């Protein structure tokens, strides 16, 4: 059991390092506002909570495009909802097509 936990911790640490590297690369192209799409990718792909990205952005005296982040997050949730609904069998059979 300890091995499993240790392995998971290492994988999470590696993911955070990869995300932080992406964050630093994105900073090279930012003058005042950190892009919401990059913040979303950090959240979605690397598991960065938006609060962590906000803190990192604040440390660099920048703002974050939260509107773009939340728009992308909402779109993703809607797409997931539609996917789940498309995978759910109908509770009532459709009549008239036999």
Per-residue confidence band for 85, with pLDDT thresholds at 50, 70 and 90: confident
Predicted pLDDT at 23 = 93
Instruction: Please report the pLDDT score of residue 43 as a whole number.
Output: 94
Phi, psi of 48 (to 5 degrees): -75, 120
- pLDDT given at position 52: 92
pLDDT at 97 over 50: no
pTM over 0.95: no
- Where does the chain have alpha helices with state H? 2-27, 36-46, 50-59, 66-87
Convert the pLDDT of each residue in 26-35 to its tens digit.
999 998 999 9
Is 81 exposed, middle or buried (CB count within 10 Å of its CB: 0-12, 13-18, 19+)?
exposed
Q: Kindly state the helix (H) or strand (E) to which residue 64 belongs, with its residue range.
A: strand 63-64
Residue of 33, 38, 37, 11 whose CA lies nearest to 23: 38
């Amino acid at each position: 059991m300890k091995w499993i936990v240790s392995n998971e911790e290492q994988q999470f640490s590696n993911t955070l390092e990869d995300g932080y590297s992406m964050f630093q690369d994105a900073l090279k192209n930012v003058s005042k506002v950190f892009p919401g799409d990059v913040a979303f990718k950090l959240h979605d792909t690397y598991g960065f909570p938006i609060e962590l990205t906000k803190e990192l952005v604040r440390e660099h005296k920048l703002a974050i495009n939260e509107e773009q982040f939340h728009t992308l997050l909402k779109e993703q949730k809607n797409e997931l909802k539609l996917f789940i609904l498309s995978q759910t069998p109908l509770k009532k059979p459709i009549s008239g097509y036999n």
